[in-house]
Amino acid sequence: MKILSFFILLIMSYSCSMTTKDKQIETKVYSELNKVIEDSFVVNKDRIWQMEMKIQGNIKGKGSLYYGHIYYSPDSSFYAYSMPIELEGCVDKTIKDEWYDGVCKIYYCPEDSLVTGEISVSYEVFTF
């Protein structure tokens, strides 16, 4: 029984260390929310298995944010991006996704040219 308890504890500590070991965070602030924004987050890490994106700020009006491995094309016939992340008012959203790439491209599209405000986007990757 002691051996089994030891192995369970060992496995739990290993799995917890995998989720926090060697993470890297990059944050960007966007203040011109009345325009389309195309940008990239790039991290030079191997063995990435998950990403977390936090979007915070205030928007007067509405906008949509997408993320993916390639730039978004509104007229594209294939789906290469996330579902739209709707942004309006006080924004505080966290997205976690399975991710295996050091590059994450984002695309922001305002509802119209009257949108104002500022958002901060933090991109964090987790590695083994």
Q: What is the pLDDT of residue 80?
A: 60
CB-based contacts of 57, cutoff 8 Å, min separation 6: 91, 117, 118, 119, 120
Torsion of CA 113, 84, 106, 89, to 10 degrees: 50
63-115 per-position pLDDT tens digit: 999 998 876 566 654 446 678 899 999 999 999 999 988 889 999 999 999 99
Structure confidence at residue 18 (pLDDT)? 47
Two structure tokens written together for 112: 């119209």
The answer, yes or no, to whether residue 53 has pLDDT greater than 60, is: yes
CA atoms within 13 A on the CB side of 99: 28
Structural domains of the chain, with CATH: 24-127 (2.60.120.510)
Q: pLDDT for 19-32, tens place per residue? A: 445 567 899 999 99
